[in-house]
Amino acid sequence: MVKARVGLAQINPTVGDLEGNKRKILRFIDEARRKNVDMVVFPELAITGYPPKDLLFRKRFVEKNRLVLDEIIGYSSEITVVVGFVDVGEAVEPVNRYDPSAFPGLPKLFNAAAVVDDKELVGVQHKKYLPSYDVFDEKRYFTPAETCEVFRVGDTRLGVTICEDIWVDHGPVESLARKGAELIVNISASPFYVGKTGVRARIVSKRAKENNVPLVYVNMVGGQDDLVFDGRSLVSNPFGELVAVGGLCEEELVVVDPWTRKKVTLPENILEEVFKVLTLGIRDYVHKNGFERVVIGISGGIDSALTAVLAVEALGSENVVGVSMPSHFTPRTSLEDAEKLAKNLGIKLKKISIKKIFESYMEVLSQEFAGTGFGVTEENIQARIRGNILMALSNKFGYLVVSTGNKSEMAVGYTTLYGDMAGGLAAISDVPKTMVYKLVEYINQKKGGIVPETIIKKEPSAELREGQKDTDTLPPYSILDPILHEYIENNLEEEEIISKGYNPDTVKKVVRMVDRNEYKRKQAPIGIKITPKAFGFGRRMPITNRYTPNSP
């Protein structure tokens, strides 16, 4: 065995952009050559982007992915390349040949890694363990590998695993080590959630140490719809010591000797990670979908402040437009806070009063509403007027509307359908309210008080009626968020949450609010996942649902 210099190419591909992804891969191969790298390793499905979802049912898409691989093979002179792609097997008869929705006649597909050396395809390894939990649905598309093979690359016996394969005890890593692999790589597309970087590092170190083999883990970077791949590629030597860590949310080529004893430390700062992940998620969603500028309703509250800061960080102040939309119930201090924030961020702030529009609504509906008092309907009309204004600006000028609701509000339905929920991206919809405050404090420490203290200290309010406070409807967020965490992310039953010491009536109220508002969340804009269980593809609850914790 000859010890090799390995390059970890944590790149940011775009799903479906086969040509663009190819050009990026070739650029990184060039960089690897310049840095005298022997082997360069790319992420899972680097050619197609991850997850390609039902694009995999498009035969031509899969065929073109293989043509791109052929071009990469032809470009790989005097270097070894490991790259993720979609491999094709024989055509299979569908289980249901009578229903056209079964897409009869499609071939078997494999989530695969190509091992290429000096313009030759040495071999292909298929993914063995196909995840079908949370945001993953690989069993819908792929067939699992039957075996794990060791490939001879130069003087090195190389084992290749793909993402989930490394998470399984006594799985492919152990099998490859027993077959004589001297170096094992894992190509991944592992999306971020809080705490996952540490979990990955422990798994990589554990697998390397228990099998006495260096392990190279290459993760993808970039935003793809609701997911953000954070990079943080890792290398462990055979002793379970981390010897390389890739950047957070950054494309780069990490060059390392996997056998070195020069240890490194994995940086872990939750607030920094969340800030960078949200920033990258916004930037990639905006740019990859062909937008340049965004528009945000700036209320003078902390949620819109955080959203605006993230948008400016992602896109630049020149590409963020704020809109202040005061009503009869907007205090002067909120207008001043919105103006201070906009000035600090260097963004344009438009002021469009909704007072006359609201009065017009009330006049038009006066006969229908006769004999009724001011209530939630009138509150929601104000929110919908604001949503309509933002969407009008979007239509006219091509802005993407970024909505500002947080996870706590989305969970219990403390938000207005077609009002403050309106938009193309719900940037902080997976950020609990208590974390919103922590993030703003982190930002102010980092950026010198860019968010006015008056925004941070004011009591949360929707400002849709006189003297309104969030606590009129909800428990304090310091109580609400832990209950939501137990119910949504830990999947605990009502009585299990109560047994942890929470007030039974409060728990029952919160659970009921979460369950009753599924219909709202189904109509919400896509949001950026930062927790283990977000309100998106990974949580699939029915809208029509009569089950309750006390159901017989």
Q: Tens digits of per-residue pLDDT, 444-491?
A: 999 999 999 999 998 887 777 788 787 888 899 999 999 999 999 999
Position 465 scores a pLDDT of 76
In 163-251, the DSSP E strands lie at: 183-188, 215-219, 221-224, 227-230, 234-236, 242-245
pLDDT digits (tens, 9 = 90+) for 235-265: 999 999 999 999 999 999 999 999 998 999 9
- 516: its two tokens: 């009753």
Tell me what pLDDT residue 459 has: 85
163 is catalytic: yes
In total, the chain counts a number of residues equal to: 552
Question: In the chain, where are the structural domains located?
Answer: 6-268, 275-471
Over 425-461, what HEC string results? EECCCCCCHHHHHHHHHHHHHHHCCCCCHHHHHCCCC
Q: What is the percent of the chain where pLDDT is above 70?
A: 97
Selecting among 24, 127, 128, 433, the annotated active-site residue is 127
Q: Extract the runs of DSSP E, i.e. beta strands, from 325-475.
A: 348-351, 400-403, 425-426
The pLDDT value recorded for residue 94 is 63
* Per-residue pLDDT at 99: 72
pLDDT surpasses 80 at 503: yes
For residues 527 and 396, give the distance between their C-alpha atoms in angstroms, rounded to a whole number: 24
Identify the active-site residue in 128, 138, 148, 163. 163
pLDDT at 434 over 90: yes
Q: Is 148 a catalytic residue?
A: no
- Provide the pLDDT for residue 106: 74
Can you tell me the distance from the alpha carbon of 483 to that of 438, in angstroms, rounded to the nearest whole number? 18
Mean pLDDT of 391-412: 97
pLDDT at 1: 52
Report residue 552's pLDDT band, with 50, 70 and 90 as the boundaries.
Answer: low
Enter the tokens of residue 31.
């960089």
| Residue corresponding to tokens 């210099």 | 5
pLDDT in tens, 29-46: 999 999 999 999 999 999
Residue 534 amino acid letter: A
3-state DSSP assignment of residue 40: strand
Query: Residue 221: helix, strand or coil by DSSP?
Result: strand
Q: What is the mean pLDDT of the chain?
A: 94
Measure the CA–CA gap between 216 and 268, rounded to whole angstroms: 20
**Tens-digit pLDDT profile for residues 504-513:** 999 999 999 9
Average pLDDT on 392-418 reads: 96
The confidence score (pLDDT) of residue 252 equals 97
Per-residue pLDDT of 192-203, as tens digits, reads: 999 999 999 999
Q: Would you state the pLDDT for residue 268?
A: 83
Mean pLDDT to the nearest integer, 214-228: 98
Per-residue pLDDT, 428: 98
Domain 6-268 has CATH 3.60.110.10: yes
Q: Is 263 a catalytic residue?
A: no
- pLDDT recorded at residue 95: 67
Instruction: Express each pLDDT in 78-107 by its tens digit.
Output: 999 999 999 998 876 666 666 777 766 678
- pLDDT exceeds 70 at position 213: yes
Strands across the sheet with 107-117, in order?
Answer: 120-126, 107-117, 80-91, 39-41, 6-10, 252-256
Catalytically annotated residue among 22, 44, 340, 494? 44
Mean pLDDT, residues 431-448 taken together: 96
Query: How much is the average pLDDT of 1-28?
Result: 93
For position 75, what pLDDT does the model report? 96
Rounded distance between C-alpha atoms, residue 360 and residue 51, angstroms: 47
| Right CATH for 275-471 from 2.60.120.10, 3.60.15.10, 3.40.50.620, 3.40.50.300 | 3.40.50.620
